[in-house]
Structure formats: structure tokens, C-alpha cells
Amino acid sequence: MNTMTPLAEAVQNTVVEKDGRVTLACPAAFHIAETLAVDLSAIGAYCNEKGIKIVKCQLGCFP
């Protein structure tokens, strides 16, 4: 039985793990937000909670 929320599942299915670092590309975060009709801040909060770094920021906020 899967107990993950749709947001958690979408993020976990999209993250990339390389060299011990877990990342989520900013464009992917935008896509997840649009697909699930959730605010980007919810994705950001989830990533912060899980130690997932947002990369390739479209706004230049996250180098």
C-alpha cells in the first residue's frame, strides 16, 4: 500500500540522485505544480523537509 501523497510521489519519481546529492530541477518543480494544481511553495517545503536541493533555477534564485 502506497501512503505517499501525490505531491510526494511526483517529487520522489522526478528527483535525481548523483554522488550522494538528491536534486530536483526547477522546471520539473513547475511541471509538477501545474500537473497537480499545487502551489510551488508546497513543493519547496517538501524539498526542504526531505533535503532535496532545487537546481537549474529558472529565476536564478538557486545556483
Closest alpha carbon to 48 in 18, 13, 24: 24
Residue 61 domain flag: no
Grid coordinates given for 6: 501525490
3-state SS of the chain is CCCCCHHHHHHHHHCEEECCEEEEEHHHHHHHHHHHCCCHHHHHHHHHHHCCEEECCCCCCCC
Looking at the structure of the chain, the number of domains it has is: 1
Residue 38 domain flag: yes
User: What are the residues facing 5 on neighbouring strands?
Assistant: none
Residue 63 domain flag: no
AA letter at 59: L
Residue 60 domain flag: no
What is the value of pTM for the model shown? 0.83
Per-residue pLDDT of the chain (63 residues; tens, 9 = 90+): 567 899 999 999 999 998 899 999 999 999 999 999 999 999 999 999 999 999 888 766 655
Residue 52, pLDDT score? 96
Residue 26 is part of which domain span?
6-55
